[in-house]
Structure 1
Amino acid sequence: MRSSRLPAPGLPLFAGNPLKYVDWEISFRKLAESSGVPDAKKIYYFKKRDWETTVQNPGRVVSSRRKKQVGATSSQERGQLSTMCCAINAAGTYIPPFFIFPRKNMKMCFMNGTLPGSKGCAVPSGYMNSDLFVNESLPFFKNLTRCTPEKPVLLILDNHSSHVSLEAVDMCSTSGTVLLTLPPHCSHRLQPLDRTVFGPLKTYFNKAMVDQLRMRPGEGITIYHVGALGGIAFLKSMVPANIISGFSSTGIWPIDSDVF
């Protein structure tokens, strides 16, 4: 077989063997022991979740027997993308969500029905970027965790380009936030929110959208509903049992190299 017809090699995935990521494990242990953050309440994990204003799964519909065509109310086919940033700690608690709306200017009506303490910002793309992370997200996190250089907290996050800018590192070094990024391609193994929280969160958010469409037929789901619907799903999924299970199943806290 010619080389041009051979399949392209895939990206190396984290198969669950911590020995392949010795450097990351050593860094985590040193930071947890030497930075003054050995307490579960001081170990946080931060992750973004994108939402579209379309129902992914309408669910079951009740109808009379022998009816061949059964309809269900659904939202518009092409939705708008918003982002919700979540942060949890190993003690089983969370901080209110941080919303990013796809608009140029922020309107307070976007935050109607959100959880107390939540914050929202507007970016044309609806995605997180370096400026938003440094100027809005990190100060929001610092104010809620009340971290200081004398009482630091450990913040674990992925290797997104917006998280590893020089400005973000400088701000965290002066505010008492110790940054630690996860190795790439390991969301199915080392990310607590992906393991035990985002699954229920997606299910509850989809159900909240279906209920909204059934209560108000003819009215679609827009970004004006994302804050309230996301708050409903957030409270139902961010329970201590799910959060603690996420940290323990990944071996982050309690530290367990043999969890895989």
Structure 2
Amino acid sequence: MIWNMDETGKSFEHDPVKVLAEKGTRNVPGRTSAMSTHVTIVACVNAEGQKMSPLLIVQGKTERSVFGFNTTEAPSGTMWDYQDSGWMSDRIGEKWFKDIFLKQCGVERPQLLILDGHSSHESLALIQEGIRENIVILSLPPHTTHYLQPLDRSVFGPFNKQYDRACSEFLQENMLHKIDKWTFPSLFKTAWNEALSKQNIKSGFRACGIYPFNPHAIPPEAYLPSEASENKVEAPTFDQPSEKSNAHCSITAPVYSATAIPTTSGDEIQVC
């Protein structure tokens, strides 16, 4: 089986999507949410269109950081963790591999797990565990995920659109509420169930040419070396001073004179 794992981030800050209004209206009202809390979403899907339970990483230093979230409204089997910045780390990557991937990938061996080159995906402990479990871990080269990563090709785009739509509808229907730790899980669940469909997931593997295998799926220009770019930078110009401005200015050469330097010693010093 071929799997792809990657992360995407979400903030509680939300700008409304397009709002229907009468033509010519200058100011169209729309509710926004200004909380800046960040949550990282870890997703893993396979070439048959299946998905694993998500991992949500919230900002915080202790397990108490998760307590404010309405975890019962998240998708079934969701695992929660915390990190200072809310991003993936070596510790969380290793925990995800053991507690989610190995428990949900099935007994078939070997299996292939495709990841990007983030350091948390290449920790020594994670690689060693993969070797023990006969899981082949393939790290994608830098700057190739937009061509080679199924989640980037056909899943995260629809997910972001579905999440934004869910947030806009929620804010319009609940004037006294906002997007926060308590309301986020249900909005995430709505977007997750809509975007991570079997069709979307399989489309990503097909678009990358991974499964079914298709070496022609990647356009020829993707293989070209980077081209050097040249930007013309004009040198600054300075106005030349006019003769009038120098009319009262004159520069004279310094005058040097040779005189004896007084001395308190008995020797004479001659200056030539």
TM-score (norm 1): 0.77
205, 209, 226: which one pairs with 2:167?
209
Query: Helix, strand or coil: the match of 1:112?
Result: helix
Seen in structure 2, the aligned counterparts of structure 1 residues 125 and 66 have a Cα distance that, compared at 3 Å, is: closer
Deviation at 1:138, TM superposition (A): 3.5
Deviation at 1:175, TM superposition (A): 2.4
**Corresponding residue for residue 254 of structure 1:** 212
Aligned length: 215
Query: Helix, strand or coil: the match of 1:223?
Result: coil
After the TM superposition, which parts of structure 1 deviate over 6 Å for at least 4 consecutive aligned residues?
A: none
- Asked if 1:184 corresponds to 2:142, the answer is yes
Q: Identical aligned pairs, as a percentage?
A: 28
**Corresponding residue for residue 87 of structure 2:** 127
**Corresponding residue for residue 69 of structure 1:** 27
CA distance in 2 between counterparts of 1:199 and 1:65 reads 29
Q: How does 1:89-128 map to 2 (within 5 A)?
A: 89-106=46-63, 107-108=66-67, 110=69, 111-128=71-88
Per-residue CA distance 1:169-220 (angstroms, 9 max, x = gap): 1111112322111111012211111111111100000111112212222432
Aligned residues: CA RMSD: 1.9
Does 136-145 or 82-91 show the bigger shift?
A: 136-145
CA distance in 2 between counterparts of 1:142 and 1:91 reads 17
Contact kept in structure 1, 2:112 and 2:137, CA below 8 Å: yes
- Asked if 1:54 corresponds to 2:54, the answer is no
Contact kept in structure 2, 1:133 and 1:168, CA below 8 Å: yes
77, 80, 105: which one pairs with 2:37?
80
Seen in structure 2, the aligned counterparts of structure 1 residues 251 and 62 have a Cα distance that, compared at 3 Å, is: closer
Contact kept in structure 2, 1:99 and 1:227, CA below 8 Å: no
**Corresponding residue for residue 226 of structure 1:** 184
Query: Helix, strand or coil: the match of 1:44?
Result: strand
CA distance in 1 between counterparts of 2:19 and 2:95 reads 45
**Corresponding residue for residue 231 of structure 2:** none
- Asked if 1:163 corresponds to 2:93, the answer is no
Deviation at 1:63, TM superposition (A): 4.3
**Corresponding residue for residue 4 of structure 2:** 45
Seen in structure 2, the aligned counterparts of structure 1 residues 244 and 66 have a Cα distance that, compared at 3 Å, is: closer
Which amino acid in the other structure matches residue 49 of structure 1? T
Structure 1 or 2: larger helix share?
Answer: 1
Which amino acid in the other structure matches residue 141 of structure 1? F
For structure 1, the 5+ residue unaligned runs are 1-41
TM-score (norm 2): 0.73
CA distance in 2 between counterparts of 1:54 and 1:259 reads 36
- Asked if 1:153 corresponds to 2:153, the answer is no
Larger CA Rg, structure 1 vs 2: 2
Query: Helix, strand or coil: the match of 1:86?
Result: strand
Deviation at 1:146, TM superposition (A): 3.1
Seen in structure 2, the aligned counterparts of structure 1 residues 65 and 45 have a Cα distance that, compared at 3 Å, is: closer
CA distance in 1 between counterparts of 2:111 and 2:45 reads 12
> Does 1 or 2 have the higher relative contact order (CA < 8 Å, sep 6+)?
1
Deviation at 1:64, TM superposition (A): 5.5
CA distance in 1 between counterparts of 2:67 and 2:76 reads 14
145, 153, 173: which one pairs with 2:131?
173
Per-residue CA distance 1:110-164 (angstroms, 9 max, x = gap): 22311111111111210000011113444221111234xx733211100000011
